Amino acid sequence: MTTGLIPGDQPPDPRPTGGLPQQRHEPVGQGALYVENRSRSSVITARAAASFEPVGRSVASARSFVRDTLQGWGFADIIDDAVVLTSELVTNAVVHAGTSADVLCLRSDDGVRIEVADRYPEREIPLQGSAVTMGSPDREGGRGLQLCAALAGRWGVEYTPTHKTVWFNLDLPGRPVGTRAAGPSLPADLLPLADGRVRVAVIQIDRVGSIAAWNEDAEELFGYPADQVTGKPLTDLAAWPHTPGTGTGIAEALRLSRWEGSYGIRGANGRVTPVYASHLRVRDADGEPSTVCLLVRDHERAVLQTPLRVPASDTAASSEGQSTDPFEVFIGSPAPDDLDGLLQRTVERARDMLDGDSAFLLLATDDETELEVRASTGLPSARQRFARVPVEAGPGRYGSARMPAVHDDLTAVPGAVPLLNGTGMRSVVTVPLKVEGRLTGSLGVAAEAPGRYSNEEALRLQFAADRIALAVESARLGELERLRRGSLSFLVEASDLLAGTLDRDQTLALMAQMTVPTLATWCAVYTIADQASEPYLSYVLHEDEELIDGIKSLLSKIPPPDPVPTPGARVWTAPGEVAHQAALRSSMRSLGLSGGSVQQAPRSIGPTLATASAVGGETVVLPLVARNRVIGMLTLGKPADEHFRQEILELAEDLSRRAALALDNARLYSERTAISQSLQRSLLPPELPQIEGVEVEVIYRAAGEGNEVGGDFYDVFPIRDGAYGFAIGDVCGTGPNAAAVTGLARHALRLLAREGLSGPAVLERLNSAILDEGARSRFLTLLYGEMRPQEDGSAELKVVCAGHPLPLRLRQDGTVEPAAEPQPLLGVIDDLELYEQTVTLDPGDVLLCVTDGVTERREGTRMLGDDGLADVLTTCTGLTAGAVAARIMRAVERFASDAPSDDMAILAMRVPEPHKD
């Protein structure tokens, strides 16, 4: 809580003094460390105070308190030094002295004063003029006073019988008016490009992450008017890239005191605009926190990227008059929680320590064969990040990785430091980072002028690298452990998703959606039908949907990658090269130019510049191998000048193995399903014949997922002139075995009926054919009949009901009665004596035939039964045959909520009433 003070007044002292006068000790000794009383002429404009309990976590809380306070006051230039000093002093109080600590921050026009007081009760008050014993920098504790001497402009120690207070003043660095940070002057053609006027979107986010302010440039960049987005969470618009186990989400980034980086904003047109953002956490006079976000287009990031070049303080001196190395001071401070933050602070401090124009840090892979760019300043970091360079041999090797090296002029030894190729840097000093003799990385500082560095600078940088190597290795191992845990979680989720479907197209979509944007910016999946087939482009996905068609068009016009079964990711340069050449040719043609090697690109491609940029980074191909056969390839890509990190490639390789097996399972399932469906369709009768004077309708439902035919069957077919056969039956059981008997019965009925046999004779011969199947035979209930329309408008039916549910006849007056008598079923005994019955359907009458899946429909202990079916049929008077069948099926479905467990067939025949003129 800050309180404004009247100019000239002094802030109230938060500590009780017990009425005793304060005693001030001014350290003396060789060099006479300079200490002065609190400046009475400074105008205190704000104060903030907090107390911290004597527990270890209080040190981190105190750091956060000071960082947030100074950030809110706009003193970003001195935050790091203030946090370092506060951390050491609070550690002395809560850890070593074991007391609570009071921290007081005072703001003035020219800087800040911070006081840290503890309550160690047994401390003796030193005599005036006695020397101060400072702690050794190599010890864990006791560095507080030495750090004050090194970093603070003024500092001192005050004692009372109950308190000890260490205070220090940090002055704002003097800079020319309007200058905050400066970089080298550049020719005009090297300055960043901007689309017309540079637009900076200013968005303010409140405590809960909702948009509170939205300026005109934000409206222009993203298409949303302010009133449309105000109050909505920024997470609804942000397209945040995630890496398993690492990285910070947008919600977490908004809570940091300061954050810079790239992500995307989804505009009103649905397209994702890549932006570079700078977040600053502030609070208002009432203490309410919010975050101010400055956003520009990603290619205009130079507008916001202003790395500070804070010179080392020249006022701090030790008791022997030697300057304190600012990088050593940084090493003595607590390391950042994450590896990226530690590496970035390291390169910035290394650059400042040697007054360089750029600095970089590379980390070695586990086998020490390659170095991977992890942090840089003063260089195009987006282009270089995660780029890999061989350590020992091969083109572009890093020749000075294992020993310190100084290059006076890189133009004399081209390729000595591949990272600096084309950057304009002339002189460089590089030193290794080693832990127990093992190479873990390389740290370098470069300058634009030649001959800037000597062995003296190399020794200073090596000393700093030795101090930071163990912290870097520890943070790197921590990051790897988080990445491994995140990778395992990612792979488990991916396996669950892939195992949840056997649809080939859905499997392809899942493969792409799991890789974008978690592992790559875009991906393409090629499939190979068989050994003799060429790879086929099956699926393309990009995190920006507007670019998918362009990438698909590009990839379809160039030869696919070779289906090599060798495991691991291999680089594929064709998409980037062809897109670059075609885009360059298109640009030259738009300027009226032609010629050059760019004409070699296919004229039919013509990708836009956006497509060329989208595929312009590193592209890798991973084989999809299942059952010892390459069934496809997974292609992952980055946008222009970006590279994959090794851990992501290893994760992608694990994913490709799981995806390959899922894709092959989906292929096998699709093939077997197609075969099954084809065979099942062959068991279904063709279209129903058109019978003059009789309406016929059939509804058929097979039980079981993917089944089109089961144990129930039906058929209506012509026998001879004017006569038609009809049948509805039920084979014992369901599934393929029952369907086999179904096919036998249906085809045998047609063949025997067309031989001129009567109904009983047809069924007796069918019974013999079923029994001849032996162990594969199944009993069968069957209703078979012959129908002949009459001249008077009626229809004559001869029916045999062999163990089947009896057909029901619906008369015009609404009465329902059975139309046949029950007889023995088929497939059980050899000698059957069957007979047929004659039924006449008058105009308006309906004959309903069903299988037992209809009558035995259950809901708990209730069953529809023959009586329930008859009750439904009585309501169908005057309906057509199709309407009767549909009403019966609806009644069956509504009778129970569960899915049917048995096949169902409904055959309805109706003699229509004559039309009245």
pLDDT > 70 fraction of the chain, expressed in percent and rounded? 78
Look-up: residue for tokens 């619906």? 810
pLDDT of residue 802: 93
Instruction: State yes or no: pLDDT of 667 exceeds 80.
Output: yes
H/E stretch holding 204 reads strand 201-205
Q: Examine residue 517 and say whether the peptide bond preceding it is cis (omega within 30 degrees of 0).
A: yes
Asked which of 241-245, 272-276, 285-289, 532-536 is least confident by mean pLDDT, the reply is 241-245
Mean pLDDT, residues 314-324 taken together: 40
In order, the DSSP letters of 376-411 are: EESS-HHHHTT-EEESSSSTT--TTSSS-EEES-TT
Tens-digit pLDDT profile for residues 802-860: 999 999 999 988 999 999 999 999 988 888 889 999 999 999 999 999 998 898 888 88
**What does the pLDDT read at residue 25?**
35
In this prediction, residues 639-663 reach a mean pLDDT of 83
Give the pLDDT of residue 32: 34
**Higher per-residue confidence, 700 vs 304:** 700
Q: For residue 382, give the amino acid letter.
A: A
For residue 805, the model assigns a pLDDT of 92
- The pLDDT confidence band at residue 445, using thresholds 50, 70 and 90, is very high
What DSSP designation does 706 have?
A: T
Query: How much is the pLDDT for 312?
Result: 38
pLDDT at residue 800, rounded to an integer: 95
Structure confidence by residue, pLDDT tens digits, 139-194: 444 566 777 877 888 898 888 877 889 999 998 876 555 444 555 566 776 666 66
Tokens 């950042």 locate to 336
Contact 619, 638 (CB under 8 A): yes
pLDDT of residue 42: 64
Question: What is the distance between the alpha carbons of residues 778 and 792, in angstroms, rounded to a whole number?
Answer: 42
What single DSSP character describes residue 95?
Answer: I
- Given a cut of 90, whether residue 314 has pLDDT beyond it is no
SS3 assignment for 718-757: EEECCEEEEEEEEECCCCHHHHHHHHHHHHHHHHHHCCCC
Instruction: Specify the pLDDT at position 28.
Output: 33
Average pLDDT over residues 340-347: 80
Tokens found for residue 668? 């096998």
| Residue 113 pLDDT greater than 60, yes or no | yes
Distance, in Å, from the CA atom of 297 to the CA atom of 275, rounded to the nearest integer, reads 4
pLDDT given for residue 641 in this prediction: 66
- Taking residue 72's Cβ as centre, other Cβ atoms within 10 Å add up to 20
Residue 903: per-residue pLDDT: 80
Over residues 27-60, the pLDDT tens digits come to 333 333 333 444 444 678 788 889 988 887 788 7
Q: What is the structure's pLDDT at 822?
A: 92
Residue 650: pLDDT above 90? no
The token pair at 88 is 């050491």
Tens-place pLDDT, residues 855-879: 888 888 888 888 999 999 999 999 9
Residue 375 has pLDDT above 90, yes or no: no
Residues in the chain: 917
Q: Which of 73-77, 239-243, 283-287, 672-676 has the lowest average pLDDT?
A: 239-243
- Residue 707 binned pLDDT confidence (cut-offs 50, 70, 90): low
With a CB cutoff of 8 Å and minimum separation 6, the contacts of 445 are 350, 351, 353, 354, 356, 358, 359, 428, 429, 453, 457, 461
Q: pLDDT digits over 573-609, tens only?
A: 888 787 777 666 666 666 555 544 444 444 444 456 6
Query: Which of the pair, 116 or 375, is modelled with greater confidence?
Result: 116
For residues 836 and 871, the answer to whether their CB atoms sit within 8 Å is no
Name which of 182, 165, 164 is nearest 173 in CA terms: 182
- pLDDT at 184 (0 to 100): 59
- pLDDT of residue 341 exceeding 70, the answer is yes
pLDDT at 746 over 60: yes
Residue 177 confidence (pLDDT): 53
Confidence of residue 382 (pLDDT cuts 50, 70, 90): very low
Nearest to 656 by CA among 820, 761, 754, 515: 515
Torsion angle, CA of 824/825/829/833, rounded to 10 degrees? 40
CA–CA distance, 797 with 726 (Å, rounded to integer): 10
Beta carbons of 114 and 168 less than 8 angstroms apart? yes
Confidence of residue 307 (pLDDT cuts 50, 70, 90): very low
Q: Report the C-alpha gap between 50 and 840 in whole angstroms.
A: 101
On whether the CB atoms of residues 875 and 843 are closer than 8 A, the answer is no
Query: What's the whole-number average pLDDT of the chain?
Result: 78
pLDDT category at 437 given cuts 50, 70, 90 is confident
Higher pLDDT, 516 or 128: 516
- 879 versus 705: the higher-pLDDT residue is 879
Other beta carbons within 10 Å of 7: 10
| 498-523: pLDDT as tens digits | 888 888 888 888 888 888 888 888 99
pLDDT of 400: 58
Percent of the chain with pLDDT over 90: 19
